[in-house]
């Protein structure tokens, strides 16, 4: 069951990633501001307290905070990487880092072991993710500063996932989920000290009034877009975290490669039929590499259900 739940979660995450790129390009230009709105609402997880959320032992509070805060900082790093790169490339690179880092950390700290077939699947999906991350940009190619932010994001996500899995093994799912997500909200509270974040509560600036035509004069549209994106993101996170609690943290994160196949398909479709909404520059070589990577993703995923 965890396999199917993870697949649905990653499909929703692919949609969220495309929306994140669009919002960061057209609406909210500062990743720190977008991180604030992505994390502050995580405090709402505390409303689930009456549903049977248990208190944690003293040392486990530390792991809940580590998981939540590292998740929030990972989002910040990822948004910077997305703004500096193209979504169909930087997201797979983050995924490859998450998969490899999670496997190393889970093996070391959780004593998690995989079968030979599962290890093969992890290796194949990691290779596919790296293939998908190869990027040709106008005037340059290969690695650029966006990938350094992506590397940091992948490492932080791995820390968050492994520490959350530690709590899921000790407590009911709802307890671990509520305390780790609420801890993510602490990042949002901390970002209130940023002038860039506080300015969003003031009057509109000249820059705000000079938004692109697609968003100009349509504040309600921007708000609905961000709200819808965050709602999908919450559902996706719940599904993936539940799959992590029910299965292997390494395998669930390795399945992130499927997300990039979904992402690639969505981006190609929008680029071809709705370039005014979303466009990415894709060379023939990239298309061939990414098609090969998708086949590897299908093969790698199969190793988890054999």
Most confident of 7-11, 96-100, 289-293: 7-11
What's the average model confidence in pLDDT over 222-229?
77
The DSSP-derived string for 97-112 is HHHHHHHHHHHHHS--
The rounded distance, in Å, linking the Cα atoms of 40 and 191 is 9
* Type and span of the H or E element at 140: strand 140-141
Most confident of 26-35, 133-142, 242-251: 242-251
Q: In b/e form, how buried is each residue of 222-231, taking b as 16+ CB within 10 angstroms? A: beebbeebbe
User: What are the residues whose beta carbons fall under 8 Å from the beta carbon of 174, sequence distance 6 or more?
Assistant: 48, 51, 52, 53
More confident residue, 139 or 43: 43
Please report, in angstroms and rounded to a whole number, the separation of the first and last CA atoms in the chain.
14
Most confident of 106-110, 210-214, 215-219, 297-301: 106-110
- Residue 212 is predicted with a pLDDT of 42
What's the average model confidence in pLDDT over 213-229?
63
Q: Are 3 and 305 in contact (CB under 8 A)?
A: yes
- Residue 140 is predicted with a pLDDT of 47
Tell me which residue of 214, 236, 227 sits closest to 15, measured CA to CA.
Answer: 236
Categorise residue 59: left if φ over 0, alpha if ψ from -120 to 50, beta otherwise.
alpha
Q: pLDDT band for 27, please (50, 70, 90 cuts).
A: low
- Residue 97 is predicted with a pLDDT of 86
How many Cβ atoms sit within 10 Å of the Cβ of residue 301? 22
The rounded distance, in Å, linking the Cα atoms of 295 and 298 is 5
- Residue 65 is predicted with a pLDDT of 97
- Residue 216 is predicted with a pLDDT of 46
Cα 280 to chain centroid distance, Å, stands at 19
- Residue 260 is predicted with a pLDDT of 73
Tell whether the model's pLDDT for residue 306 goes beyond 70: no
Tell whether the model's pLDDT for residue 5 goes beyond 90: yes
Find residue 141's DSSP bridge partners. Answer: 136
Least confident of 110-114, 156-160, 270-274: 270-274
Tell whether the model's pLDDT for residue 296 goes beyond 90: no
Q: Is residue 137 helix, strand or coil? A: strand
Categorise residue 194: left if φ over 0, alpha if ψ from -120 to 50, beta otherwise.
beta
More confident residue, 295 or 55: 55
pLDDT digit string (tens) for 190-214?
999 998 888 877 655 444 444 444 4
Q: pLDDT band for 183, please (50, 70, 90 cuts).
A: very high
Tell whether the model's pLDDT for residue 189 goes beyond 90: yes
Q: pLDDT band for 146, please (50, 70, 90 cuts).
A: confident
Tell whether the model's pLDDT for residue 178 goes beyond 90: yes
The rounded distance, in Å, linking the Cα atoms of 20 and 35 is 11
Question: Which phi and psi angles does 136 have, rounded to 5°?
Answer: -110, 115
Average pLDDT, the chain: 81
The rounded distance, in Å, linking the Cα atoms of 61 and 67 is 10
What's the average model confidence in pLDDT over 121-134?
77
Tell me which residue of 143, 43, 5 sits closest to 85, measured CA to CA.
Answer: 143
Sign (positive or negative) of CA dihedral 161, 166, 172, 175: negative
Q: Are 197 and 191 in contact (CB under 8 A)?
A: yes
pLDDT digit string (tens) for 69-127?
999 999 999 988 887 776 667 777 888 888 889 988 998 899 888 888 888 888 887 88
* Type and span of the H or E element at 28: none
CA angle 252, 129, 38 (to 5 degrees): 65
């Amino acid at each position: 069951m965890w396999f199917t739940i993870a697949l649905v979660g990653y499909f929703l995450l692919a949609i969220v990633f495309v929306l994140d790129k669009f919002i960061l390009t057209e609406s909210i230009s500062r990743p720190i501001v977008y991180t604030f709105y992505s994390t502050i609402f995580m405090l709402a997880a505390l409303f689930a307290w009456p549903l049977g959320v248990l208190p944690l032992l003293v040392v486990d509070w530390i792991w809940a905070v580590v998981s939540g805060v590292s998740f929030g900082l990972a989002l910040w790093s990822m948004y910077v990487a997305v703004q500096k790169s193209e979504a169909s490339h930087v997201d797979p690179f983050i995924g490859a880092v998450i998969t490899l880092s999670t496997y190393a950390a889970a093996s070391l700290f959780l004593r998690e072991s995989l079968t030979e077939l599962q290890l093969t699947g992890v290796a194949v999906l990691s290779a596919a993710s790296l293939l998908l991350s190869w990027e040709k940009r106008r005037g340059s190619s290969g690695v650029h500063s966006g990938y350094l932010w992506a590397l940091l994001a992948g490492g932080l996500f791995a820390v968050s996932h492994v520490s959350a899995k530690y709590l899921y093994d000790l407590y009911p799912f709802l307890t671990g989920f509520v305390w780790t997500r609420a801890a993510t909200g602490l990042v949002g509270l901390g970002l209130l000290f940023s002038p860039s974040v506080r300015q969003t509560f003031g009057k509109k600036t000249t820059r705000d009034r000079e938004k692109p035509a697609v968003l100009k004069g349509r504040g309600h549209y921007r708000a609905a877009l961000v709200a819808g994106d965050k709602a999908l993101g919450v559902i996706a996170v719940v599904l993936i975290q539940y799959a992590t609690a029910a299965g292997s943290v390494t395998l669930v994160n390795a399945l992130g490669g499927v997300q990039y196949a979904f992402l690639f398909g969505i981006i190609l479709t929008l680029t071809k039929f709705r370039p005014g909404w979303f466009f990415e520059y894709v060379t023939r070589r990239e298309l061939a590499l990414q098609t090969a990577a998708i086949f590897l993703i299908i093969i790698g995923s199969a190793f988890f259900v054999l």
